[in-house]
C-alpha cells in the first residue's frame, strides 16, 4: 500500500465515536437544514451538467476555515493555512486522475452558494450551516439524510473534521465504505492533519487505516495520502 508520496505503511487503528456529543451543545436548527438542502440542490444541478462518465469524489469539510459562528470555538492563532481546509490539495490530484470533485464546506459564514472553480469537473459549494455532528433529533437526522443521499452519487468520500478532536457520531454515519471513504482530522490550533481510510465497523468501534504522513512539506497532496491503495487497482 505504500505510495511514492508517503513513508511507511498504513496501520490499523480502532476509533470509538463519541456518544452523540455536539460541541457546545448546539445541534442543527431549521435554518441549517434549509441551507443543507439548498447546497445539495446546487450540487445535483452541477453534477447533472457535468461529465457523467467520470466518477465523483465528495469532500465534506466540517467547520473548515476557522469560523467563529459555527460552534463558537475559533482558533485565535491558526498554525495551518486555512485554505488547505477549504480546498485540500488532494482535490487537484483527484481531478488529475480523472475524477469529478464536489467540495462542500460547512462553516457558518457568508452564505450558501456555489463558488467558481477553475475546472469544469469541480463543484464547490459553501454551506452556511452547522454540520449534524450528532445523530439524535429530527433536525440532525434530516440534515444527515440530505448529505447521505448526496453521498450515494459518489465513488469516494472524504470527510474532514476541523471542529475539535472529538470523533463525532454524525461524521461516522457517512464514513462506511471500505477503501472508498476516509475520515480526515485538521486542527488549526496545532497545524496538524491526519487521514484515515475506513476499513470495517466492529463492536468496539470503527476500524480505520491510519495513513502515514507524506514526505513532502504539504500534507495530504495526493489521493493516495488519504485513501489506502488508491491507484493500485485501476482507480
Instruction: Give residue-wise pLDDT tens across range 88-109.
Output: 999 999 999 999 999 999 987 7
Using pLDDT thresholds of 50, 70 and 90, give the confidence band for residue 72. low
- pLDDT of amino acid 2: 34
Plot region of 110 (φ>0 → left; ψ -120 to 50 → alpha; else → beta): left
- Each residue's pLDDT tens digit, 172-207: 999 999 999 999 998 877 778 899 999 999 887 999
- pLDDT of amino acid 211: 94
Query: E strands, 138-204, where?
Result: 156-161, 181-187, 192-202
In whole angstroms, what separates CA 231 from the centre of its chain? 20
Task: State the Cα–Cα distance between residues 127 and 196, nearest whole angstrom.
Answer: 24
pLDDT surpassing 60 at residue 73: no
pLDDT surpassing 90 at residue 149: yes
Residue 83 burial by CB count (10 A; 0-12/13-18/19+): exposed, middle or buried?
exposed
Task: State the Cα–Cα distance between residues 176 and 66, nearest whole angstrom.
Answer: 27
| Element housing 42 (H / E) | helix 30-48
> Across the chain, what does the average pLDDT equal?
87
Please give the model's pTM, rounded to 2 decimal places. Answer: 0.90
Task: State the Cα–Cα distance between residues 43 and 26, nearest whole angstrom.
Answer: 26
Q: What is the arithmetic mean of pLDDT over 30-39?
A: 97
DSSP letter for 224, please: G
- pLDDT of amino acid 151: 98
C-alpha cell at 226: 488519504
Amino acid at each position: 500500500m505504500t505510495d511514492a508520496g508517503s513513508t511507511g505503511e498504513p496501520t490499523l487503528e480502532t476509533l470509538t465515536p463519541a456518544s452523540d456529543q455536539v460541541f457546545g451543545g448546539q445541534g442543527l436548527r431549521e435554518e441549517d437544514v434549509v441551507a443543507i438542502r439548498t447546497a445539495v440542490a446546487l450540487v445535483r444541478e452541477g453534477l447533472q451538467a457535468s461529465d457523467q462518465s467520470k466518477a465523483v469524489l465528495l469532500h465534506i469539510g466540517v467547520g473548515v476555515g476557522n469560523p467563529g459562528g459555527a460552534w463558537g470555538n475559533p482558533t485565535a492563532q491558526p498554525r495551518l493555512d486555512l485554505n488547505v481546509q477549504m480546498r485540500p490539495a488532494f482535490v487537484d490530484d483527484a481531478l488529475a486522475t480523472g475524477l469529478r470533485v464536489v467540495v462542500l464546506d460547512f462553516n457558518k459564514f457568508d452564505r450558501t452558494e456555489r463558488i467558481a472553480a477553475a475546472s469544469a469537473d469541480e463543484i464547490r459549494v459553501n454551506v452556511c450551516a452547522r454540520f449534524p455532528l450528532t445523530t439524535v433529533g429530527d433536525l440532525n437526522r434530516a440534515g444527515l439524510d440530505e448529505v447521505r443521499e448526496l453521498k450515494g452519487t459518489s465513488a469516494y468520500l472524504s470527510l474532514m473534521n476541523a471542529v475539535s478532536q472529538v470523533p463525532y457520531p454524525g461524521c461516522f454515519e457517512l464514513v462506511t465504505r471500505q477503501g472508498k471513504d476516509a475520515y480526515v482530522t485538521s486542527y488549526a490550533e496545532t497545524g496538524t492533519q491526519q487521514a484515515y481510510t475506513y476499513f470495517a465497523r466492529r463492536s468496539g468501534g470503527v476500524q480505520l487505516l491510519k495513513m502515514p504522513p507524506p514526505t513532502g512539506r504539504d500534507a495530504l497532496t495526493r489521493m493516495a495520502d488519504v485513501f489506502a491503495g488508491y491507484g493500485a487497482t485501476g482507480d
